[in-house]
Structure formats: C-alpha cells, structure tokens
Structure 1
C-alpha cells in the first residue's frame, strides 16, 4: 500500500537549527493532508468509515476460511488490533512482516511477535525489555548514544554515528537510521515484531541481519480512556495514560498518550557535595495522533511525538584492576597505583563488589536526551491497487558529561559527547490485491540523515599527577604536574552524513493452492560522508616532562579534515518458496542477500581509514505448525548466514593514546553464524498459556587475522581470532513464559504470570579478553494480580529480576589508566500497578 515516487528527494543539508528543518517537514505533512483530503470531499456522511477499520473487518471475515484460522473454541475472531493484545493463540495473531496484515502461521518468515497486552502487563516498554522476550535478540542500551541492537549475536555497535544499524528499527512504518533514536519508553503498544534475516527487499531501508517493527495503537472512533499508575522499588513512580475518540464522527479521530517515570537509582554517590543516586529513571514523553478518513478508500495518519530523559547514568564502575599480565609479569603502572601516589594522600578507589553500590563522583552530571518527530502516512485504495506514502522527520540530541576517573579528584572536569542527529525519510509503496496467481508490492525509499558530535575532555588540576608515567611523576614537582594538564581542553568534532535512494519490489507467485514462490529485489544507491576536526586548547605554557604529559593526552591533533564522500551501489535479493503441507503445517525456505553502506572514517593519526560496505548471504529452512486442535504451536527455523566485511567497533592499539588503546570502526574479514530457533505456544484452555522461545546460535569469526590482542597478553602484534566465538554472541538464548488465570466467585479473575530469560556465557569485549566474559545467567520476572469483574480494571504486583541476579550488559578490558569496567543490568524491582480503562 505505497505509491510511486512523484518527485526526487533532494539531499537536505543540516540547517543551523533543527527547528527550521522540522517546520519544513511539518509544512509538507500538513499540505499533504489538505491536498489528499480533497479526494473525499464529495463522499456522503454514511460513507465515511475508517479505511483501517474496514480492512480489519474484511480480514476478520476472511480468517474463518483460512487453514490456520482461529481456534475452534473461540467464539469469534477479534479484529487484528485486538488479536495482537496477547500471543497465546498464534492462529489469531496478525503480523505486518510483509507490509500486509497476515496471520503469523501463514507467513514464511522467521518472526517473533510480542503482544501489546502482555508487554503492558509486564511493564516492558524499552528495547531492552523486548529483548528479554524474543530469542536471539540482544539490546545494549546504557544511554542514547550507547544503544545497539543485535540479532543472532551480530549488530552490536554504538557510539559512532557514521555506522548504520545492521538491524533495522521501524516505528509505525518509519525507519530509524540511528539506534539511539529508540531511547524512549514505548507505551500504548499494539505489538512488536522481531524479523530475522535480511529484510531489504520490503522493509524500508536495507538491513543485513533483520528488523524490529514496533506498532502503536491506532486512533479509534470509539471513545476510550486508559490510565496506569505504578509504584515500586527505589521510590520509582510511573504514570501512563492514553485517550482516543472522534473529533468529527467517522471522519477525524485522535489518540493521545503520555508516560512519566521517576525513581532513584541503585548506586549511591558518597561524594557529599554532589550526592544523590545513579542509574535511576527520569524520563517522560507524549505522542498525539490524528486519523483522517474522509472517504472509505482514503486515510491519513499524522503522528507527532516528543520524548525526553534527564537521568544520572552511564556508569561503568571498575570491578577489578589486575596487578600482573597473563604470563605473571607485574604491571608497572595501573589505575590503582596511580591513585596510590602520595599526591592523592593514600586514596583507595572503589573497586570490586562495592562499586555496584557506591561511586565517588565530583564532576558527573545528568545526561539530557531530547527527541522529537513527525510522520504522515497516506493510504489510497484504487480498484486494482493500493498506494501508501510515509513521510517522516526525526530528531535526537544529547549532552553527556561523565566522570570516568570515578574519584572525587579534579582529574577530568568535563568528559563526554554532545551531539544531534536528524533524518528525513520518504517511502512510497504500491501494492496489488492478493491474487490467485500473482500479487506484488513495489516501492521507493529515500532518506537523508546528518549528525554532529563534539567529544570533549576538560582536564583539572589533578590530571597531571594521575596521567604522569612513574618516571615523570618522580621527576616533577606538584606545581609542574598541575600545570601540565590543568585547563587543557581536547575536542573532536565529527559531522557524518548519509543519503540514499532505493527501489524495491517483492512478488508472490501462487503456483497452486499450496505452493507459493516469493521473490524480491532491491537496488540502493547510497552516499556517505563525514568531516573531522580534532584540536586541543587551553592550559598554560609548559616544557620538559610537563609538556610530555600534555602531548600524551592530546594525541595527534590533525585539525579540520574533510575526506571525499563515498558512493556505493548495491543490490539485495530474496528467493522464498513455501508449501502448505497440510492445513496445519507450512514449510518454507529462503535464500537472500543483504547489504549496508560503508562509512568515511579516520584512524587515530587522522589518516583516511574508510570502512567497506557490509554484505550478508543468508539461508533459512523452517516450518510452522499447529497441533492438538490448534492449541499447540511449534515453529522451527534453521539458518546459516555468511557475512563479509562485517562492520564492528573495535578496540585497537594506539601509540598516541595515553591508555595505549582507542576505539575505531573497522571491518572484520568474515563472520559465519548458523543455528536453530524455536517459537512455541501452548494454549490448552482459556486459563493457561505457555510461550517458549529458544535459539542455538553458533557465531564464529570465519576470518579475523588482524584482531587486536587483549591487553593482558602484553603484545603489540595482531591476534588471530579466526574460528573463535564472536563477541557478544551467546550460544544459547531462551525465553519461557507462563500465564494462568482463575475465575473468582465475585466475577473477578485472578492471574499469575512468570517468565524466565536465559543467556549462555559470552565475551562482551571485541578483544575477547579473559576479564570480559559474562557467565551464563537467568533472569526471572513475574507477578500476580486481580482483574475486576467489569474487565476494565486490574491490580498487579510485578517483580522484575526477582532473584536480584547481577549480570553485565557491557564489560571493558583494563588499560594502564582504567580497571576492568562493568555496566550491569537492572537489579531487582518489585512494585504495585493499577490500570483501568473507561
């Protein structure tokens, strides 16, 4: 349901203020609504019906004749939106994996669906929460910029705006070109779909590993108001609400939603002047939608959103600081030994188990993030096809001020990155009716995105005494040490940009009543660029050893560099046969190729080090089945993906860095992943529901001969990681959920729900250090509650991480100025929640 491209999207450079850009996008959207609304001016009032709702009714009627239709016990199939409120009976769950409303058991694609009702009950509102419910999905989100999404163990990259995600993120049809744009709470959800495998021939932007499709509820012409309030551990107070209804009967409807979450963190700051807690919640947001249906064959959906957070976080305290290298040789200088110098008065840093409860920070501040967006989706039905247009603008900005020395000394007065990203996307799609022989979808996708980041460090008077080598410290006076770095201000500006335009198409050839062949093709032309500016200012004039300390911290200051843009043209394709073996068993296979663009980069010396495009070849074989009178569903998928020039943020040796290492985006020679995924659900009656998701995933480097060795080996030559398990890729992931309901005498319903998340051991550092292994772990979530007799109100006791399991999301190896760092998952939360609708 998308249109042809009526005019080319010209590349739009970043304006001096984001508001100017947004006003232009909004003006385009409003103009489109007015112009498109003219299509329905002549319609009679009784013809004014929602195009969305009429489509859902048609789908409902057709469902009764489908082999994978509703469970015979059900009195009637709900509409698609209602069906997706839980995922117990997969036969009644619809997905948009192929840009149409289809029942999940009829779609030959490995997909996991998370229902909005279950997500709301469990308080699952972030990408990280979704990852606990889908096999082979991993999310690392320590802050907006440090957000990354991985499927099947690959795709975890962050803190580099030049790299585009290997896993697509699509919210209400809009592609997010940066994973950090997902830094918000998603409330008022319809469902979340996790699609595995390359998705470039249909899902907007080209992706090499899969996509996450997030869908919020539509405006409704039936008035409804919902409210949810929660209170729990660490004084966490959470409010959510939504309202929907008609503005003009059968012509214009609205939906508004909001959330506000405030709470203390689990880590206390012992530095009294600053004090407070860290890693708590402080975020809020709102979304308003309008649905215009002036004619039965036309609809327009306008969405505006604003999300913000101002949280004290981004802490990765040091959990150890080894005194020897792997061969037993003593380390001559460590984080701990620097702070043991007489200059610091015998200070003992907080390292180890105590660092999970306390920090000693004097300069860190909260991390503000602001996001806004506007999108317009237009749908026009003609007699022989449907046209859809989605126009969207998104903006994200942040300002991070950290204290990564984790002491109350004035070592770094300011450390962190400030930046902003904005994107403009346009997608047109044309869809034929589902035909007996052939049906198809064609589309054009274009985007332009620009980012700006300023990474900066302002050194304090104690920095020289900390960063000096042992010899420099012994040779210089306290005054000389202070003069070496006090007031020195290092900055690095990076301004990456990208623009692309692509044509794509996918067709289904229904060979007979049981066999279908799906083919897809995409052609993409993408241009990426970036400018760089690294300078150092401030400080008083110094010489000798003090100058040497300063130069070590400054590294190479190469000034303004503007490398040439890089343009790539690439093709993606899909072959996807399927066969309805029986009314309850669908078998399928697929072969596909996906690609994503390269990036313009510099090395630590300011020299060009561009990153090549990433390519993947994927093979899938699977079946979807129902058993026991369609109360048991078992879907199994086997896959093998070969990736060449895998893009990864790597820690590499640097002679110009004071720590001896720096982080760069680079290409890994090759990666091969293979495994099996299982999605299952058992719904024996109306009271019990069991969901299971599991995956075995063998992700190994097939070629990586120039890897940076872990620091504990104390060598300068490259390591060969060929054949080793890929970083951040556990072999086994599993998710088990149980939901039991019991009717009470007064008409109310009691229910108990429990879920268990398992992840096997994985190394969380690209250097595969012995110190950065996260062992296998389980996280248990659950609760119990009462649904009142009217079915509109519910009171729940909810627990997340019930047994308070400590596990790492990120681990970083040590250096000569830092210990082994850990960012760990949320500790136990227990709260009470009340929600109602009227």
Structure 2
C-alpha cells in the first residue's frame, strides 16, 4: 500500500508542520478521504518508534487504516495479503501458519516450535511470538503498518524479514462509542463494538471493545453431514489509561480471545505420479479398498474425512505500557505476559479411509517480555533510539498419533509380513514435548543530519538466544506392547532426545537518506542481520536402523545480507504518490522444512539450506484526480530462489521407489509460497448527496488483487504448484455523520483457487488442498458516536 493509499483507506492525517517532522495526527472524521490529504497533509506512523511522516521514513512501509479493514473485509492477518502484494500468509490451521514478506520469514510446511519467525507481529508494541497467537480478529484497530526488510535495530525481538505493527485506538477522555454489524451469506455474522470515556476527569480513561465472528463452513463433509472450515471467534479487550503526571502515561491492557471453529480440512485435489509401483499408488490403493472420494473436483467442496476436525484455541494476555517524557527524550517501558492454548484435531490422511485416525498436538504456550526504550525528542541534527529487550517463552505439547485399519495397506509394501498381518492397526505414538526459549538484546539506532537534507542512520543489535527442549515419543502397538517390528518402527519410531542451542550475535544496519525536495525522498540501506538458530521439536529423521539421527537435532542461525534502494515521491499538490523500492537479500544457512525419505511416513524436520536469494521491485502508487475519485495500484516483483541447496528433499515424483535418490539438488529453483508477480489495485468514487435533512455521500468502491502461480511444496513439484488467480471485490454504500452503510461482494467472479496444496504421507501421489473462499456477499452497518 502506498502512502497516499493509506489516506484513501481512512488513516489518521495531519496538516504539515513547520518542522521537518510532523506532530502526531488527529483522527480524520470525514472518512477515507479527508481535507488534510487534499491540502497536502501527512500520514503519521510510529514504525521507527517515534511519530513521523511516512513519506520521510527511509524504509519500505505500507499502512492500512482502520476504516479500510472494515470496508475491504481484511479483519485478520491472513486477509491483509489482498491489500499488500509483498505479504504472503499460508495456513492449514492456526498453528501451521506462516507469514512471509518478500518470500522470507518462516519455513513453508508444518510448523516447528523450535525456531523463530522472521516476520514479527506487534500489537501496541507487544511482541507476539507465534503467528498463531496473532490469528485473532482485529478489534478497534486504528492502523496497521507493514514494514518490509530487517527491523532488528528498532524492535525488541529480532525480525529479519519485516514486521507487522498493529496499533489500536487508545482510551479517550472524550466519551465515544463505535458499533459495527456485518451480515452475509454462509450465515456470516460479525459484530464489533467499543466504547471509551473518562473514569476520572483528565486522569483516567478506559476503552472496552469486543468482536464476535461466526460463519458456516464452505466445505461439506458427506460422512459427518456437517459444514467444515467454519469460523467461530470471540474476543474482548480492555485498556485503562492513567495520566499519572503531566509527563507520564500508564496504559494497562488486557485481552482474551476464544476460537472454536469446525476447522481445518484439506482434501482431494489431484493425483500425481511417484516412483512407487503402479499398484502402490493412490488410485490402485483406493480401488483395492473399494474407496472413492465424494468428488474428484475439489471445487465441488465435498469431503468425507473420518476424523473429527477441530481448531480450538484460547489466547490473551496483559501488558503495561509506560511512557515518561523526560524532556530531552521519552523513556518507554513495555511489560507483557501472553498465553496461547491450542486444542486441535486433524485428519492427516485427508480421505475417508482409516489410515491415520488421530493426529493432534495440543499445546500450551506462555511468554513474558520486557522492553525498555529511550528515544530522543529533539528535532536537531541528532536523534537516537536505544533499547533493552528480554523475552522468555515456554511451550508444552502432548502429541498423539494413531494409525487405523487401512494404514498397513497404504503405508507398507504388500510383500512385508506387516502388511499381510495388518500390524499398523492401532499403532500409537504419544509424544511429550517441552520447549524453553530465552533471549535478550541491546539495540539502538542513531540518526545524524549533517545537512538539512541528508541523514545518516547506523544501527546495532547485540543478541543472545538460548533454546532447550525435550522430545519423548512412546510408541505402542494395538495390543499395548512397546516391542515393535521393523515395519512398525518405520512408520512410528520411539524417540527421546534433548536438543540445545545457545549463541551470541552482533548485527547492524546503515541507512543513508536524502531529501531532494519537500516531496521527493530517497534512501539506501544495508543490513547485516541474524535469525536465531533453533532446535527440532517434531521428531528426527531415522537412519537405516530406524534410530533418530541426533546430529540434526539443532539448526544454525540464518545470516542475512540485505540491500535496498527506495524513492518516495508526491506531486500534483500531493494528490499523487509514487513510491519505489528495490531490494536484494541473501541468506546463508536458510532454515528450511524438509522431509526424510521414508516410504511409510512423511516426517518434517528442520535443516539448513546452503543459501537463499530473493530480489525484487515494489511499486506503490495512488492518485486522486478529482474530489470524487481516488485510485491506487501496487505491484511487487519477487524473484526468490534456493541459490544453493544440494541435499534437499526430493519432490513427490522422485520419491517412493527402490532407486529413488535419497536427496535432490534444487539449487536455482524457486522458494515455496512466493508469487513472482503480485499486485493490488482499486478505486472509489463518491457523490455528495442530501437525503432529507442528512448530508452524506454515496460511494462505489472496487478492490482487486492478483498473484501469479507459486510452489506449495518445499521442493518444487509439477503437482504442487498453485495456479495464479485474481480476486475482485466491490462495495456500494452511503456515509453520513458517523454512519457507514454498504453492501459488499467479495471474490465477485467466484474465482476457483487454492490457498495451499500438500502431499499425502507415503509417496502415494495423492495431492490434497485447501480451496480459498468462494464468492460471498453481505452488508455492513457501522456507527461512530
């Protein structure tokens, strides 16, 4: 999203001040387009931990206003991708979610709790350690800032790919309230409400907000006769602001979210070839069991999975934000505690046969963080930010996997005694997993302005990380015995190991920025960054004797070299904005999710790829040719590839046979989840209208996005590419005096597309997928008092 587009999307605005740095903006009451933007105002953000014009911030940043979140339906992190081309989000359930920026951030595939995420999620300056813990619906959001590129010298937790900075509305000393109701097809209901006002005049204010979202599923299970992939989210949030002194604000925040959807199912998408003999591939195996899926067209949206589908989670926490203006600078303290309880159930064979009848990894996560930061208040030649960050996290997981009566036929060679005796029926693995993660950092950034137009900004970060874990898997047969055959150990092997990792590292960046004129700014950045090493907590690959390979229990840190050039421009009295960014990022020891080459099981674990490279161009534009019409268009070209990965897992078409290679060289091939071309564009046209005694505006809005095809497997396969797709959304409404009533149509042309594709265990050739949302429609009514 471009700067001017941020204004089009209802962001805060401010008139231009006499100094180079504008004061914090006041909310624009007139909606998405206000007089401040028409009169050459500025969008104010806090991406660099101080209030400043987004056009003066020397980094690639996109901003989405709170009103845009409502009007475009981008009410959680996953839906932001339709507005921001450089942001990718993939999820098969809340835990197995990944947010990437420019193709970097988290390995593609099943989540491994033993590593960090490269894209940091911050809500009111509090770091959320897992993408899953940020899967809540946005409530009372003022704006969202998406920062692209390494941000470790400004933010508490190291983020090598970028950051998503969510800013909610603060408590107000003027009484106010907001309410929003959305109704749509698929029984969609979303209610949001908030109220704010003083508890003690000029001293204590409170804000309360809540959100409820429900929707029937879009996939019908013909076996259980129920709709799946539904939504059922509830959240509450409270903030109390105490102005303890003229120069000291304390804000206490608490939130709780509960989600209990009938989610998330993947099912038959297509069949591909593997190296298995024809009678050991999915078509022959299914036929031998007398089985057929309800439909071979995935967009019939039918499944018959025979395991309960559940994605229940509870998440919340408390934080205390203290901001103390000491004159020369402001001291900020952010103390936070957060929890996330995850209670899932999945069908990991993806079809209606009892192959894997139970697959669940419920877990409980807690985190504590403390950030202490001092930022100068000066407007002179020197500005600085310095901070200390402490973080501790624990995760306890109780995994359970049970094989069913069809497991032997699907997973074992028919000539083996195990297949003939059905020895996998009832085979059970009970996994007890513990994880402890501690990190500490000193970080800071200096901005020196030797002239009125030139600024030089070096930054440093000293980081320490320590991770330790325990993985114990106890495997029993259907009769309860711990004595296993070779066939049984080849599918579920008992394991016990205690991985460790600890390391110090020093990183930094340097940015040169030059103000060519009041409306043209350029910058150049180099960053040397690190993503902490990690430990494997999803089980290890096995050697020829079916014993875990302990040498791969930990992975090395990623080492990032990042280069970026940017140009930010406005013209035509700031009615037009054109921003450009070019980047080149190389990562040594890239942390990838890979799989071992067992026939019987698909076990993901972490390993270091030799080198990854991503490079590209980003264009953000917006134009307001008349008072009534606004336009925007954003585009991203991202060329992301494995520069060197000589021992990668092979794609499914090269697995499963006696002569299949143990690994493959995929150097030069594309990274998963990255579209080479992505774009978003839209327009809004408004007509001033008087209805009786009410002055308002009718408006017609259009938003669209496009992504070219991308690989949906860690090693590219001809069978797991997701075809490119375009989504088109329309809205028609009326705004007046705090009211906003509009009808909406999303995915208007009912585009058929997949969010992700995956591979069934055992090299059977079955490819499963999770389709994106079909066409939906509805109406939204909101009122601000």
Instruction: Give the TM-score taking structure 2 as reference length.
Output: 0.91
Distance in 1, matches of 2:72 and 2:175, equals 25
Partner of 2:635: 694
Distance in 2, matches of 1:354 and 1:522, equals 48
CA drift at 1:474:
11
Partner of 1:391: 335
Partner of 1:27: none
Partner of 2:674: 729
* Alignment deviations for residues 455-495 of structure 1 (CA, whole Å, 9 cap, x no partner): 2112344444544432358984xxx43xx234332122322
Match of 1:99 among 45, 49, 53: 49
Match of 1:503 among 430, 442, 456: 442
* Alignment deviations for residues 675-696 of structure 1 (CA, whole Å, 9 cap, x no partner): 1111121123332221222111
CA drift at 1:109:
1.0
CA drift at 1:325:
4.0
Partner of 2:148: 196
Partner of 2:252: 302
For residue 647 of structure 2, give the secondary structure of its aligned residue in structure 1. coil
For residue 490 of structure 2, give the secondary structure of its aligned residue in structure 1. helix
Distance in 2, matches of 1:196 and 1:353, equals 38
CA drift at 1:292:
0.8
Distance in 1, matches of 2:749 and 2:126, equals 38
Partner of 2:743: 797
Tell me, yes or no, if structure 1 residue 114 matches structure 2 residue 69: no
CA drift at 1:356:
4.7
CA drift at 1:413:
3.3
Tell me, yes or no, if structure 1 residue 551 matches structure 2 residue 492: no
CA drift at 1:826:
1.6
CA contact (8 A) 1:502 1:523 kept: yes
CA contact (8 A) 1:464 1:549 kept: no
CA 1:296/1:407 → structure 2, altered by over 3 Å: closer, same or farther? Answer: same
Greater shift, 411-420 or 346-355, is seen at 346-355
Match of 1:819 among 760, 766, 773: 766
Distance in 1, matches of 2:334 and 2:418, equals 65
CA contact (8 A) 1:419 1:452 kept: yes
Partner of 2:180: 228
Match of 1:590 among 525, 533, 551: 525
Instruction: Give the TM-score taking structure 1 as reference length.
Output: 0.86
Distance in 2, matches of 1:450 and 1:541, equals 31
Structure 2 residue ranges without an equivalent (≥5): 1-12, 543-547
- Structure with bigger helix share is 1
CA contact (8 A) 2:709 2:722 kept: yes
CA 1:620/1:778 → structure 2, altered by over 3 Å: closer, same or farther? Answer: same
Distance in 2, matches of 1:740 and 1:67, equals 33
CA 1:376/1:252 → structure 2, altered by over 3 Å: closer, same or farther? Answer: same
After the TM superposition, which residues 26-105 of structure 1 pair with which residues of structure 2 at under 5 Å, given as runs? 63-65=16-18, 79-82=25-28, 86=32, 89=37, 91-105=41-55
CA contact (8 A) 2:25 2:43 kept: no
CA drift at 1:66:
5.1
CA drift at 1:666:
1.3
CA contact (8 A) 2:264 2:309 kept: no
CA drift at 1:707:
1.4
Tell me, yes or no, if structure 1 residue 807 matches structure 2 residue 749: no
CA 1:365/1:642 → structure 2, altered by over 3 Å: closer, same or farther? Answer: closer
For residue 608 of structure 1, give the secondary structure of its aligned residue in structure 2. helix
Distance in 1, matches of 2:337 and 2:465, equals 19
CA drift at 1:538:
4.8
CA drift at 1:397:
1.2
CA drift at 1:503:
0.6
- Structure with bigger strand share is 2
CA contact (8 A) 1:68 1:583 kept: no
Partner of 2:9: none
CA 1:831/1:474 → structure 2, altered by over 3 Å: closer, same or farther? Answer: same
CA 1:475/1:625 → structure 2, altered by over 3 Å: closer, same or farther? Answer: closer
For residue 551 of structure 1, give the secondary structure of its aligned residue in structure 2. helix
CA contact (8 A) 1:171 1:213 kept: yes
CA drift at 1:347:
2.1
Partner of 2:94: 144
Distance in 2, matches of 1:568 and 1:87, equals 49
CA contact (8 A) 1:252 1:291 kept: yes
CA contact (8 A) 2:408 2:418 kept: no
Tell me, yes or no, if structure 1 residue 608 matches structure 2 residue 551: yes
For residue 555 of structure 2, give the secondary structure of its aligned residue in structure 1. coil
CA 1:85/1:576 → structure 2, altered by over 3 Å: closer, same or farther? Answer: farther
CA drift at 1:363:
2.4
CA drift at 1:390:
0.1
For residue 170 of structure 2, give the secondary structure of its aligned residue in structure 1. coil
CA drift at 1:721:
1.6
CA 1:639/1:489 → structure 2, altered by over 3 Å: closer, same or farther? Answer: same
CA 1:522/1:68 → structure 2, altered by over 3 Å: closer, same or farther? Answer: closer
Match of 1:382 among 312, 326, 329: 326
Match of 2:75 among 117, 125, 149: 125
Partner of 1:30: none
**Aligned-residue CA RMSD in angstroms?**
2.5
After the TM superposition, which residues 516-665 of structure 1 pair with which residues of structure 2 at under 5 Å, given as runs? 516-540=455-479, 547=485, 549-554=487-492, 556-558=493-495, 560-563=496-499, 565-601=500-536, 603-605=540-542, 606=548, 607-609=550-552, 610-654=554-598, 658-659=600-601, 661-665=602-606
Provide the aligned length of Structure 1 versus Structure 2: 751
CA contact (8 A) 2:126 2:336 kept: yes
Distance in 2, matches of 1:818 and 1:674, equals 33
Distance in 1, matches of 2:197 and 2:118, equals 38
Tell me, yes or no, if structure 1 residue 738 matches structure 2 residue 703: no
Distance in 2, matches of 1:66 and 1:749, equals 35
Distance in 1, matches of 2:358 and 2:124, equals 38
Tell me, yes or no, if structure 1 residue 704 matches structure 2 residue 641: no
Partner of 2:5: none
